[in-house]
Amino acid sequence: MKRIVSIMLVCLLVFGTMACGKATETDGNEAADNKTEETGTEVENEGAAANEGTELPAFKIGVAVGSWDAKALMTQSYYDKYIGPAFHVEFIWAEETGTDVAKVLDFVDTLASMGADAFIDYGSLTGDQLMAIGAKCNEYGIWYVNNNASVEDGMMQFEYFGGTGGAEPSVVGDQFYEMTEYLVADGNPHNIILQSAGALNGVAQHIFTASSALQAICEVFDLTLYTDNYEEIVTTTTAQTVLDTGSDMKVALETSNPADADSYYNLLKTGEYDTVIFQMPQYLRCESVIDEVEKTFGENIHLISIAPVADTTYNSFSTQDSTGNQALDAALIKNNSAGGILFAMAYNCLTGHADDMKTDGVYELYDAPMWVCYNLEEYEKIAQLDSEDGQYFTYRIDDLKEMLFEFNPELTADKLHELAASVVNLEMVLERNGLN
């Protein structure tokens, strides 16, 4: 049986590791880095005071993450210090599960032995592996909600399946279109490397992001490809391919996943390409290659990517490269919006409102939006939210209450979808935290 870490033990281990000097990924905002222990106490007190005088049922919810990265630590702090005290919930944390379904199933066994009521899974497993987790939770009567880009076919057969929350692929695709258009519609010629990542393997988000970026490129430069079905192009191109654009402009589809620095270097070393669009937070894998090419040719290489709230992202926006430009031109920032919606889904299940979250008897994906960011000023605003020791959150207690049927008798499934999707408006989130 894998070792299960309780709430207090996880916190001690995390802070103990930091004290010993082991490098951990933190957010890049200097103010957040300087938060004191008093701030953490204030957050816990705010959570505890939120429902003071109200008798709430006590619940235990297990949580598993694929890796203990900056985003996972952000979620853990949010749940343990803020959500737990407010809603009388004890969170039980698994060790890092990666893509090992056996570790997840072992964790479910342990949750059952500890009397857990629900399980929030950030592991993003799919197919038969996800079905096995759903079946195991159903066997124990543990409500199961998961973080993914779509609701898996077949999961509705399980009575204790509570739905899926994640970034809506079509919305992420629109955001990639926006970033691509912003970067290349500057009146200058560009030759572009576009990562298709998991599109070839049917990953919905990558299909939407890669095809939307390709569409933006073609529309900005009036290119004619062999088909205007951009999804077909990114899902059927099996190897690195320079597309026939009907012009002198070069657009190369790079299919390596994860990103293979050598593959990118083979294109970049020609000096012909000045723009790279990544569908995953993998641009750092190619950082040294890009830097070498920039120094060799004295030309700036523009970058678009998904990125976390972390030191690496802060550095990419704040540090000038060898050409005097910020290293990252545009990023879709992975925030903690999923932390709020997945908790709301689990709590609604535990209070008898699972069916109220369904549309025509089935769950539809609850959106957990990300935020577009173009510069350091915008990034520093984002980094104030949901930091590991922060006091500003994507979803505050009052926001969550609006998403819980137990506190909001006027709530419907449609309204819950609307509230979840509304978080795409960063200015609104900053405003309700008093940061504007």
Q: Identify whether residues 189 and 141 lie together within a single domain.
A: no
pLDDT at 13 over 50: no
pLDDT at 76 over 70: yes
In a domain, 100, yes or no: yes
Percent of the chain residues topping a pLDDT of 90: 75
- At 46, the pLDDT band (50, 70, 90 cuts) reads low
Q: Identify whether residues 131 and 210 lie together within a single domain.
A: no
| Stretch among 25-39, 118-132, 223-237, 406-420 having the lowest mean pLDDT | 25-39
- At 310, the pLDDT band (50, 70, 90 cuts) reads confident
Q: Identify whether residues 25 and 149 lie together within a single domain.
A: yes
Each residue's pLDDT tens digit, 58-75: 999 999 999 998 889 989
- In angstroms, the CA 426 to CA 419 distance is 13
- At 387, the pLDDT band (50, 70, 90 cuts) reads confident
- In angstroms, the CA 107 to CA 97 distance is 9
pLDDT at 52 over 80: no
86 and 122 Cβ atoms separated by less than 8 Å: no
Which of 271, 306, 334 is a domain's end point?
334
In a domain, 181, yes or no: yes
In a domain, 327, yes or no: yes
Q: Identify whether residues 31 and 175 lie together within a single domain.
A: no
Each residue's pLDDT tens digit, 121-174: 998 788 999 999 999 999 999 999 999 999 999 999 999 999 999 999 999 999
Q: What is the pLDDT of residue 86?
A: 95
If you average pLDDT over residues 35-47, what whole number do you get?
Answer: 53
In a domain, 428, yes or no: yes
pLDDT at 22 over 60: no
Q: Identify whether residues 414 and 425 lie together within a single domain.
A: yes
Q: What is the pLDDT of residue 267?
A: 95
In a domain, 178, yes or no: yes
Q: Identify whether residues 17 and 77 lie together within a single domain.
A: yes
If you average pLDDT over residues 207-224, what whole number do you get?
Answer: 97
151 and 363 Cβ atoms separated by less than 8 Å: yes
Which of 334, 364, 384 is a domain's end point?
334
Q: Identify whether residues 308 and 192 lie together within a single domain.
A: yes
Each residue's pLDDT tens digit, 245-256: 999 999 999 998
Q: Which residue has the higher pLDDT, 317 or 256?
A: 317
Q: Identify whether residues 261 and 372 lie together within a single domain.
A: no
Rg (CA), the chain: 22
Q: Identify whether residues 161 and 176 lie together within a single domain.
A: no
Q: Identify whether residues 360 and 295 lie together within a single domain.
A: no
Q: Identify whether residues 184 and 318 lie together within a single domain.
A: yes
**Mean pLDDT, rounded, of the chain:** 88
Q: In Å, how far are 138, 251, 266, 425 from 293, measured between CA atoms?
A: 53, 18, 11, 37
Q: Identify whether residues 268 and 350 lie together within a single domain.
A: no
Q: What is the pLDDT of residue 97?
A: 92
Domain of 106: which CATH number? 3.40.50.2300
- In angstroms, the CA 84 to CA 95 distance is 19
CA atoms within 13 A on the CB side of 420: 29
In a domain, 2, yes or no: no
Which of 319, 334, 349 is a domain's end point?
334
- In angstroms, the CA 370 to CA 205 distance is 12
pLDDT at 27 over 60: no
| Stretch among 101-105, 283-287, 400-404 having the lowest mean pLDDT | 283-287
- Domain hosting 225: range is 170-334
If you average pLDDT over residues 32-52, what whole number do you get?
Answer: 53
- In angstroms, the CA 436 to CA 430 distance is 6
In a domain, 1, yes or no: no
pLDDT at 42 over 90: no
Total of domains in the chain: 2
